[in-house]
Structure 1
């Protein structure tokens, strides 16, 4: 990977780091904040899935627009800015459904920026280093999540700040993410001729099968909020807030530490094998959460949860990038993110329904079944390739 490309990946990583520092001061508090406002499992499911799902439509649109105009950075900037503005509304929420609405608008910014940003990361690397490139970006992104979660824990446990105050502080921090983004070099491609309408027919059959497998997995990859909520039920009073945040930190530390090795490993052994490892780890995570009720098991289970994400997140993006033509990479990544994102709504709604109507175990067994189905689809439908 050339030094110039690495510099730009690090700058994008810094932007993501600061954004996730802001976001993850909010995220571990959000299910607890919803519960404090009287929201139940279905409301948590809506907050975890609705924004990601509907805003995912923007990912394919923004990815396609970046291909059509031959520029990426402007859309990336717009996405980060709009998310920062939306976060200012969280402290004003008066009900769980207010949180659902605000999170929808905040996720729209993510929908605008994600595909063009990932197309930039892919352009700054080569196929033989793309897993490492995405691993570096995801590691910096998740490092911000660790720092944000630690800061939230300190502010609420040591300094005694209210959740609303922490939400406001997090929103202000988010605007600082725009500073490193200013120095990122745009990658210009030849603008696509013709209409700006989506050209999904231009995606290869192999890529479409991969997107199908990742979408099947996403149907069971419900919001992290249910893992945090499950941890909170095993404690009382202040520990019911502090311990879930601490476990969320454990999850993000393992996630951050594993993305670069996992991405680099996929450069050597192939994307398919690496992704199968990630899906398998998530399967065992869900089985563990379904079967074990001991508080002492939470630490290894959250570590396993983080390790699964360390494999899945960078390898999925690198795999899609490998199978897409460079001039359609924004469209391909947008289609992938949109398909996966749209699946998060039924995934989280199903998880919330099972949580309220059956039991927490049913929620996690749903995740295990979906990940097993995705493993079968990946083995049977997608050929080895990409990063080999």
Structure 2
């Protein structure tokens, strides 16, 4: 046996002897609480990143670039962290380390005295997301084998987004009381709680990979499983299927026309459309809409497959006409529409990857997929920032054109059968 196979087999045999105290649903719900606390931290910060960078002298193009780089770091670096999770099977250590980076970087924004310092912390926080997400999503996908992957990821996303609703509201209150520094500083509290929660969850569910075999770790089934040796991952990796690559291309084209909230919030700040304390409230509205859309699209995915994702395209196309308006009423509507589109992307897209790639390469699949996703979002957000500054009409045309192109790219997926729901593996 190869030197790679021996430690992998030993690690998996040790995991098989450990007892999961939660079943799949308990695991998903508990991880949702962890993500909810973490979302209070980083979504609270993202709600005011655009205006905060503007106070440090950033232009709309600069905000689009910085926030785009942040999203790209969070997504593209999973090219490395995804295969790392597959190769080492250290899902829990990677997950905990990623949450720790976020919990530390965000409160430090309160002490940033220059644009470059703030930018570095924004990007560091996103790097934490790159470290944890492939490992976390792989663990969630195991629970989804029993629950239905659309359902598992939708439940997790809905709980996750509830934190994204609370965080901006908390930050809004702190800004109204004292300003941006207190808004960032107060986020140290939910950050510490998130770290404590994920460490505790690891103790209760040390081996989530056993959910794939229906071994939740309770009763007679768990006792029998204690003597099972899980076979090592094969040394030869199977190639990722063509449908996965085509699906990644569709996602990239659709995200190419999707603005980051940083550019939207920059618009609200510099044009004085809303008071500074209300800007994070619009983000809270977005996150509430994202949670509802995630639940709906997750259920739709389990019924009809990827075709349910198409509703995100017209929502994205409507964003320039709403979110970049000078009308407060349209801006509030735009917040809900932008959030709904994001919720569909962040729940259904993640669920689909697990059904499109072999189980042994899930971490790698998530890493590649989100890298493509992130590069497209970086390029698109930079272009959107530039068009916002030079040609609002061009911004609308660009967004609509990208969504039409995404629809055309999606058609071969339907013909190949990838648009149909897949059975849980």
Pair in the same fold by TM > 0.5: yes
Q: Which has the larger radius of gyration?
A: 2
Match of 1:314 in 2: 347
Q: Is the 8 A contact 2:63 2:266 kept in 1?
A: no
Say whether residues 1:205 and 2:242 are aligned partners.
yes
What are structure 1's unaligned runs of at least 5 residues? none
Q: 1:262 aligns with which of 289, 294, 297?
A: 297
1:112-152 Cα deviation digits (max 9, x unpaired): 11111111111101287111111111111110010011111
Match of 2:50 in 1: 31
1:346-388 Cα deviation digits (max 9, x unpaired): 12211222222x1344334433322221121112345323347
Match of 2:255 in 1: 218
Q: Is the 8 A contact 2:86 2:361 kept in 1?
A: yes
Match of 1:252 in 2: 287
**What is the 5 A alignment of 1:225-236?**
225-235=262-272
**What is the 5 A alignment of 1:57-76?**
57-76=76-95
Q: SS where residue 125 of structure 1 aligns? A: helix
Give the number of aligned pairs.
376
Q: 1:166 aligns with which of 183, 198, 219?
A: 183
Match of 1:282 in 2: 316
Shift of 1:52: 2.1
CA distance in 2, matches of 1:155, 1:41: 25
Say whether residues 1:125 and 2:140 are aligned partners.
no
Match of 2:366 in 1: 333
Q: Is the 8 A contact 1:268 1:387 kept in 2?
A: no
CA distance in 1, matches of 2:242, 2:146: 19
Match of 2:208 in 1: 187
Q: SS where residue 420 of structure 2 aligns? A: coil
Q: Is the 8 A contact 1:46 1:100 kept in 2?
A: no
Match of 1:295 in 2: 328
Match of 2:16 in 1: none
Q: SS where residue 97 of structure 2 aligns? A: helix
Using structure 2 for the length normalisation, give the TM-score.
0.82
CA 1:61 to 1:187, structure 2 compared with 1: closer, same or farther past 3 Å?
farther
CA 1:274 to 1:146, structure 2 compared with 1: closer, same or farther past 3 Å?
same
CA distance in 2, matches of 1:174, 1:127: 31
CA 1:127 to 1:337, structure 2 compared with 1: closer, same or farther past 3 Å?
farther
Q: Is the 8 A contact 1:128 1:267 kept in 2?
A: no
Question: Which region of structure 1 is more displaced relative to structure 2, 181-190 or 254-263?
Answer: 181-190
CA distance in 1, matches of 2:63, 2:98: 24
Shift of 1:110: 0.5
1:209-232 Cα deviation digits (max 9, x unpaired): 101111112222231112223333
Question: Which region of structure 1 is more displaced relative to structure 2, 378-387 or 250-259?
Answer: 378-387
CA 1:26 to 1:55, structure 2 compared with 1: closer, same or farther past 3 Å?
closer
Match of 2:227 in 1: none
Q: Is the 8 A contact 2:322 2:333 kept in 1?
A: no
CA distance in 1, matches of 2:26, 2:260: 32
Match of 1:52 in 2: 71
